[in-house]
Amino acid sequence: MKEFIINDNDANQRLDKFMSKACKNLPSSLLYKAIRTKKIKVNRKRAEPGTTLMPGDVVLCFLPPEFFSENSEKDLFYTLKPALDIVYEDENIIICDKRPGLLCHPDEEGEQNTLIEHIKAYLYQKGEYKPEQENSFIPSLCNRIDRNTGGLVIAAKNAAALRDMNEIIRGRTVSKYYLCAVHGVPEKKEATLTAYLYKDKKNNVVTVYDKPKQGRVKIVTGYKVLKAKDDSALLEVRLYTGKTHQIRSHLSYVGHPLLGDGKYGINREDKKAGYKYQALYSYKLVFDRGSGSLSYLTGKSFEADQDNIWFYKDF
């Protein structure tokens, strides 16, 4: 028998969602059968999958011990030397400036040198994250950017902050701004572009079209020319929608592929000029409105250090 005492980070979620996080070795089919047959109870009473857990509730699990694995990440958190460029931090969130080349999350090959592992190790070594005291919560990224894109990434330190930041992002009350370097100089110095994007999930590539069609999603991308040099330009881009490779594909579609972008442009000459990555950086976040435990973020903005934007000096 395993007992879970619900803490603040566990609370306000469904029983089935909590159990899927707390017992990662438990298949979902067995999870729902165990709830139905009263092998999983809340406060010694029968519960439903949708039962909302509250602080102090006791979840009892009458299941074989192999379904309950101990947290094995402690050694990694203790030995990993965190390498973070922290732009902002408080008791709820941390905003880091991720460098190009670093993954946000572990990939299929199990790469551990990732942004989220460095954040968890940093919080563990500060004493703010104690895995042995958590049943279902781990510090989590609220947004992510491509491996070869640099810029600001938000992580939540507790469950309430994670829920509220996800609500802010879903409600689009945080504005995301990017800097990028493109081939050519757009004729209009400032514009908002609208198109339709289709994602080929198998090949992880997207295609942009003028007209809507089943399977395509609407994308809206705003840009402003900041500087021009020879036959290239530095743009500030605002994302009104956030789809896979939106900036890279949308600007390429209108004839201005990013410097260094081998997927949506031709970058042989760019590589010779030192563009190892696509010239794209998520450099600014503006919170138009906060939410819940993060309401204090209303009106705040955060920017990456200009010196970290490796292609900025070219203009």
Judge if 207 and 310 occupy the same domain: yes
List pLDDT tens digits, range 225-249. 999 998 999 999 999 999 999 999 9
3-state class of 77 per DSSP?
A: helix
The side-by-side arrangement of strands in the sheet containing 2-5 is: 2-5, 58-61, 40-42, 45-46
User: Does 141 lie in the same domain as 259?
Assistant: no
Residue 309 main-chain phi, psi, to 5 deg = -85, 90
CA 225 remoteness from chain centre: 27
Let me know whether 214 and 162 are in one domain.
no
- pLDDT attached to residue 236: 98
- Statement to judge: residues 116 and 19 lie in one domain: no
CATH number of the structural domain spanning residue 212: 3.30.2350.10
Range 211-224 burial, b when 16+ CB lie within 10 A, else e: eeeeebeebebbbe
Segments forming the whole domain that contains residue 11: 2-67
207 and 295 fall within a common domain: yes
Name the nearest CA neighbour of 253 among 201, 178, 183, 151: 183
Last residue of a domain, one of 138, 170, 202: 170
Residue 300 sits in the same domain as residue 236:
yes
Same domain, 186 and 198: yes
Structure tokens at 197: 């994007």
pLDDT at position 132 is 84
Q: Same domain, yes or no, for 305 and 210?
A: yes
Query: Do the beta carbons of residue 77 and residue 132 sit within 8 Å?
Result: no
* pLDDT for residue 70 is more than 80: no
Last residue of a domain, one of 112, 138, 170: 170
Are 143 and 178 members of one domain?
no
pLDDT band for 69, please (50, 70, 90 cuts): low
The answer to whether residues 160 and 191 belong to one domain is no
Q: Is the pLDDT of residue 74 over 70?
A: no
The whole-number pLDDT of residue 226 equals 98
**What pLDDT does 116 receive?**
94
Looking at the 3D structure of the chain, how many domains does it have?
A: 3
Tell me the residue type at 253: Y
Higher pLDDT, 20 or 280: 280
State whether 7 and 102 are in the same domain. Answer: no
Instruction: Give the pLDDT of residue 25.
Output: 82
Q: How far apart are CA 22 and CA 165, in angstroms?
A: 22
Rounded-to-integer distance, Cα 40 and Cα 49, Å? 10
Cβ count near 295 (within 10 Å): 12
> What per-residue confidence (pLDDT) applies to 79?
72
CA distance 221 to 193: 5
252: which DSSP letter? H
Q: Tell which of 44, 67, 90 closes a domain.
A: 67
> For the chain, what is the mean pLDDT?
93
pTM over 0.85? The answer is: yes
Residues 249 and 290 in one domain: yes
CATH of the domain at 20: 3.10.290.10
Judge whether residue 145 has pLDDT over 90: yes
* pLDDT of 71 strictly over 60: no
Supply the pLDDT for residue 80: 81
**What's the pLDDT at 75?**
58
**Which DSSP letter does residue 63 get?**
S
